């Protein structure tokens, strides 16, 4: 099964491609994505499609520094809950170790390692996305974000000792020089930022231990769910795609890079079907909308993926024995 990545990995992608005078929607379409699919940072998209989007954007914009430019526009916040936990750490060392420990919750194809020897440290990154050779655009993006994270915790001007790249020297080297402001070495054996180890131990005084404990529990729970079965992944995708018009068995199978028949078989192993999961999620959300809000029935219908209100009404009455209006009247009157 193809690994999935949080759509936050493409934060600012559309803006950057547009700025570089290419069509971001065409790029997304060619790799099997859409603007709607990446609009929710917590939605899951194909990791392969993400890598392909970076590479194709680099070609379409004629910028071999595309990944670096995207990384400059992103920061620790794109890591979602992992970033929130890292922000409450007391030192850069602790924060980078947290990110290294949990990065697979954001991108299962990422490998981060902090190496220290004597008075120098290396923040290393590698791209291990299945089915793909190491992608230079993704690795450049990661080094840019890593450098910014170090700067966030150092809380003072700092400069890397050196930055190493496995890929060849880019044509558009100026952006690298301006951003890193450090000696650059291409055609190396690793992607890494080298810096003084003393930066790792600078203490952050504004971290909140209560928030840290909260986010630690939250991230641990996410990790637990991440390791669960296919059903959990499909349920997450259904919730992400429900109102997009793409929430169907074929599209979700495409995201997972398996055939619909394989998807059916794997769900059957967990005693369920795609239709059953879809109906259960629709019903649960419909009840929440009717009970907890005053959203118009037509809006509820659209958010659940129905093109017509009548289709939603028939579904709800079949499942509950009540029309949406009667259900709302009955349950809100008892509150």
Q: What is the DSSP string of 100-114?
A: HHHGGGT-TTEEEEE
Spans of the chain below 70 pLDDT: 1-2, 130-132, 227-229, 333-335
Task: Report pLDDT for 313.
Answer: 96
Q: What is the CATH classification number for the domain harbouring 257?
A: 1.10.10.60
Task: Report pLDDT for 333.
Answer: 60
Task: Report pLDDT for 191.
Answer: 96
Q: Are 101 and 213 part of one and the same domain?
A: yes
The reported pTM is 0.77
Domain hosting residue 173, numbered range: 65-222
Task: Report pLDDT for 256.
Answer: 80
Contact 275, 318 (CB under 8 A): no
Q: Are 202 and 267 part of one and the same domain?
A: no
Helix (H) or strand (E) holding 44: strand 44-46
Residue 51 lies in a domain: no
Domain stop point among 165, 199, 222:
222
Cα–Cα dist 31/55, whole Å: 10
Domain stop point among 159, 190, 222:
222
Task: Report pLDDT for 100.
Answer: 93
Cα–Cα dist 209/214, whole Å: 9
Cα–Cα dist 198/23, whole Å: 44
Q: Are 252 and 128 part of one and the same domain?
A: no
Q: Are 193 and 263 part of one and the same domain?
A: no
Task: Report pLDDT for 334.
Answer: 53
Q: Are 85 and 136 part of one and the same domain?
A: yes
Q: Are 202 and 122 part of one and the same domain?
A: yes
Task: Report pLDDT for 335.
Answer: 46
């Amino acid at each position: 099964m193809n690994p999935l990545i949080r759509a936050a990995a493409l934060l600012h992608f559309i803006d950057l491609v547009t700025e570089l005078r290419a069509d971001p929607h065409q790029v997304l379409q060619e790799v099997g994505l859409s603007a709607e699919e990446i609009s929710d940072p917590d939605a899951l998209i194909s990791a392969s499609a993400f890598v392909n989007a970076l590479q194709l954007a680099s070609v379409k914009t004629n910028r071999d520094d595309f990944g670096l430019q995207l990384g400059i526009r992103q920061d620790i916040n794109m890591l979602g809950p992992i970033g929130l936990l890292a922000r409450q750490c007391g030192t850069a060392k602790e924060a980078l170790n947290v990110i290294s420990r949990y990065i697979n919750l954001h991108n299962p194809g990422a490998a981060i390692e902090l190496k220290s020897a004597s008075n120098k440290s290396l923040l290393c990154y590698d791209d291990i996305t299945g089915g793909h050779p190491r992608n230079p655009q993704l690795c450049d993006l990661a080094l840019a974000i890593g450098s910014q994270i170090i700067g966030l915790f150092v809380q003072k001007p700092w400069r890397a000792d050196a930055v190493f790249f496995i890929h060849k020297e880019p044509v558009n080297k100026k952006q690298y020089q301006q951003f890193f402001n450090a000696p650059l070495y291409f055609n190396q054996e690793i992607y890494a930022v080298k810096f003084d180890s003393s930066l790792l131990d600078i203490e952050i005084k504004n971290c909140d231990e209560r928030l840290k404990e909260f986010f630690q529990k939250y991230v641990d729970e996410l990790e637990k769910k991440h390791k669960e079965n296919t059903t959990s992944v499909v349920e997450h995708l259904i919730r992400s795609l429900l109102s997009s018009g793409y929430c169907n068995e074929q599209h979700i199978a495409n995201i997972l890079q398996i055939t619909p028949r394989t998807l059916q078989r794997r769900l059957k192993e967990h005693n369920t079907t795609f239709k059953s999961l879809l109906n259960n999620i629709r019903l649960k959300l419909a009840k929440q909308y009717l009970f907890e809000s005053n959203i118009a029935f037509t809006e509820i219908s659209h958010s659940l993926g129905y093109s017509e209100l009548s289709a939603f009404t028939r579904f709800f009455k079949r499942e509950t024995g009540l029309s949406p209006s009667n259900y709302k009247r009955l349950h809100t009157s008892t509150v």
